[in-house]
């Protein structure tokens, strides 16, 4: 049903919903998908949302309509690891536990270590944004009242911020790359080299 799940870049989550269940969708979007730790973890998941009402008529559609809302968790080999349906699928703790369970079955680095490292990146990006706003204000003042000394300081700050942004992006890629799939999910030629 989901050929996209058969890949080696990470586990997958498929969320089955029906449009008429708008209250649950908003609750899940806000409480679960809007949760920072879930958002960080989902960086390494393939995420799919399926509107069951758009599925062709048949037994499969009837099955998923009975379960809505539902989350199915797949390992990188596209095998179902766990699923949660109905009221439990709107519970942040239930979904969080299954994300953590699927993560820990799929990756060598535990989710908590990855989340901590990635949270550090997000904190640095927040500080970068504050500095960027400050430099933008200084640039605006400078445009209103030109001053060569202030111009040099603003230009130096802008260059430093460009370097800082580049470093944060490099560190983000390093954190993501440090989270490797377990060898059983790697292609044979890659796993043999371990």
Concatenating the DSSP letter of every residue in 153-182 gives HHHHHHHHHHHHHHHHHHHHHHHHHTSPBP
Per-residue confidence band for 10, with pLDDT thresholds at 50, 70 and 90: confident
Domain ranges of the chain: 3-106, 111-178
What's the whole-number average pLDDT of the chain? 82
Which pLDDT score, from 0 to 100, does residue 192 have? 39
Core vs surface per residue 133-143: b (16+ CB within 10 A) or e: eebeebbeebe
Reference 89, options 35, 28, 48, 26; nearest CA is 28
**pLDDT reading at 56 higher than 90:** no
Average of pLDDT values for 145-157?
87
Average of pLDDT values for 139-164?
89
**pLDDT reading at 121 higher than 90:** yes
**Domain 3-106 adopts which CATH fold?**
Glutaredoxin (3.40.30)
**pLDDT reading at 164 higher than 90:** yes
Which pLDDT score, from 0 to 100, does residue 6 have? 59
H-helix or E-strand spanning residue 117? helix 111-144
C-alpha dihedral sign at 89, 93, 96, 102: negative
Cis bond upstream, residue 69 (ω within 30): yes
Which pLDDT score, from 0 to 100, does residue 191 have? 35
């Amino acid at each position: 049903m989901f050929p996209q799940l058969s890949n080696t870049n990470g586990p997958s989550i498929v969320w089955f919903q029906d449009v008429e269940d708008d209250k649950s969708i908003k609750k899940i979007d806000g409480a679960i998908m809007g949760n920072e730790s879930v958002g960080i973890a989902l960086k390494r998941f393939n995420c799919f949302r399926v509107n069951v009402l758009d599925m062709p008529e048949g037994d499969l559609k009837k099955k998923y309509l009975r379960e809505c809302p539902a989350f199915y968790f797949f390992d990188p080999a596209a095998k179902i690891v766990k699923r949660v349906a109905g009221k439990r699928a709107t519970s942040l703790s239930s979904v969080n536990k299954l994300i953590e369970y699927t993560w820990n079955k799929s990756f060598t680095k535990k989710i908590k270590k990855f989340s901590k490292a990635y949270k550090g990146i997000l904190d640095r990006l927040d500080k970068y944004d504050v500095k960027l706003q400050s430099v933008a204000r200084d640039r605006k003042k400078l445009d209103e009242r030109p001053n060569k000394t202030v111009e040099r300081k603003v230009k130096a700050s802008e260059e430093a911020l460009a370097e800082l942004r580049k470093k944060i992006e490099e560190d983000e890629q390093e954190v993501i790359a440090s989270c490797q799939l377990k060898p059983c999910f790697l292609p044979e030629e890659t796993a043999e080299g371990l």
